[in-house]
Each structure stands twice: as C-alpha cells, then as structure tokens.
Structure 1
Amino acid sequence: MESKEEIILNTVRQLQRFAAKYARIEDMPIPVEEGLEVTTREAHAVEAVGLRGHMSVTELAKFFGVTKSAASQTVTRLVDKGFLRKEPSPRSGKEFQLSLTDLGEKVQKAHERFHGADREELLKRLEAFSLGQISTVSVLLEALDDVLDRRLRP
C-alpha cells in the first residue's frame, strides 16, 4: 500500500505531465480558414474577449494571471493580425477597450469547433464525480495556483 507521501509525489508527477501536455497544446495551430491558423494560446485570448463582448488589457491580464506587459504584447500581436480591435476606453483615458473584429469572430468559432469536443468529453467525465470530489480537485488547484503565483512573483 502506498504511503500518503508516495501518493502526493505521484500526484505532483501527474500534474507535471499535465502541465507539459497543456503547454504543447497551447502552441498547436488551429485552422481558421484557408491559409490562416492561430495558436491555441492566441485563440484563448480572442475567446476571452469575445465571451465578454469587450474587456481592457488589464482585465485580460487578470483573467489569465499574467502581467499587464505580457497581456499587452499578446494584444498587440492580435491587433496586428486583425483579430482584435483596440480603442480608447470610455471609462478611462489610460485604458483601452478590446473587442473582436469579424476575423476575430471567425477565430472564436474555429476555436470552439477545434476544442468543443474535448470540452464536452471533459464535462461528461466530470459529471460522474461527486460534489465532494470536484470540491477536492478545486482546493488542490487553488493550492497549485498559489504556489505558482509565488514562483512567478519578481
């Protein structure tokens, strides 16, 4: 029988494998239309803006848990590619409001087609879990998030 420490170490190894696979998926191309692909990472940023209708660079940074500088670089790339529109915010002279262009809406739809089946399968599998099991996973993920946040702080 495995000890608690062995189970914890095995869980950490599983999480590391998961993180490595997820990182690879983030760089995978998603076909949008003939001759146009985006990375999953770019599609996630487009999706975040699209689901809210609009958001600021700061809100995007908070949503993904990245620095404002990193979010700004992503936004600049997505604006240059024609996926996002960046306009002065009506709420603040210092902020910009992001929204999807027509091409950005195509990216959002392509992302949903590409990953929709995976999301559906995951939701179906999670339905079999008890509320207690889901709560335990949630607490584990919060602990991981805290550890990673401390590691990422300058």
Structure 2
Amino acid sequence: MDTKEDLIRHAIYGLLRIAHLYARIEAMPIPVNDQTSVSTREAHTLQAIGEEVGNSVTQVAHHFGITKSAASQLVAKLEKRGFLHKRPAAHSNKEFELFLTELGWCAFRAHEHFHGKDFTELVNSLSTFPISQIATLSVLMETLGGVMEKRLSRHSKS
C-alpha cells in the first residue's frame, strides 16, 4: 500500500468484510433449551434489556442504531414468544418499560455462555495493544458510525 488513500480503502474493505461476517453471526441460532432458540440479534436485544432494567423501545433502538419501528417489531416478536413483557412507563403514557421473563433470562444466560468465550478472547486480544491504539480505534469507529448514521438519515428522508 503506497498512499494514505490506499490504506483507507484497505481499512474500509476490512470493515465491510467484518460487517458481512457479523451479519452471518447475527443470524446464528442460540439454543435456550431443548425446544427453543433465539437468533444472536434477538439475544443481543434481550441482553440489552436485561442489563438495563426498564429499558424502552426507544432506548433499544438507540442502543442498536436501528429505527424505533424496527425495535418495536423486534420487541413485539420477543414478547409474543414469551421472552419479555412490557408495562406502561411511569414517566410517560406513550412509552413502555421492558422486562425479561424467566424464559428471557434463560436466553440471556445462554447468550452469555455462547458468546462469553468469544468476547473474552476479543478483550484479551485487544488488550495487547497500547491504549493509544485502542483510543484511536474508538475514535475511528465513532467516525465511521457517524458517516453511516448520516447516510441512513439521508436515505430515510428520500
């Protein structure tokens, strides 16, 4: 790679590769019990709800960078399958607070078990880098996320 532009292009292609791999992982089923499984995407949603008591659909949407409508559909699907329940929020007559059911907590724990080893491996691998490089990665990820959010915003207005 000869130029800064070449390095940037190579990094973008690397990010696209990671995004495609991540999409495949998100579709993988995680067994909850003998009769039930959840997709990784569903498990991540349950994890976000379980880690933040009283999360709302709006907070779930913001957490994952998806539309409120998409978050609402996902929450409705998980509620119908018995993983969570909603109750009106005390602070708003439009919002609902989300809580995991017993089955939801089983899925939460199954996800932690399923991906815990991978997460630990990733943390251990990244821990070998100097803090300055990790900080740079963090800033780069924020920048990339901002560009993607702008693109999605322009797309949703058209």
TM category (shorter chain) comes to: over 0.9
Percentage of matched positions with identical amino acids: 49
The runs of 5 or more residues in structure 1 that have no matched partner are none
1:144 aligns with 2:144: yes
1:112 aligns with 2:123: no
> 1:2 Cα shift?
2.5
> 1:91 Cα shift?
1.4
Matched positions, count? 154
The question of whether the paired residues in 2 share the 8 Å contact of 1:53 and 1:100 is answered with no
Between 56-65 and 112-121, the greater mean CA deviation after superposition? 56-65
Q: Which AA in structure 2 matches 1:113?
A: H
Q: Which AA in structure 1 matches 2:98?
A: L
Distance in 2 separating the partners of 1:24 and 1:151: 23
Q: Which AA in structure 2 matches 1:3?
A: T
CA deviation map 1:35-93 (0-9, x unaligned): 21100000000000001122111111111111111110010000001001111111111
1:124 aligns with 2:128: no
The question of whether the paired residues in 2 share the 8 Å contact of 1:83 and 1:104 is answered with yes
Partner residue of 1:72?
Answer: 72
How does the TM-score come out when normalised to structure 2?
Answer: 0.94
C-alpha RMSD of matched pairs (Å): 0.9
The runs of 5 or more residues in structure 2 that have no matched partner are none
| Deviation >4 Å, runs of 4+ | none
Q: Which AA in structure 2 matches 1:100?
A: L
How does the TM-score come out when normalised to structure 1?
Answer: 0.97
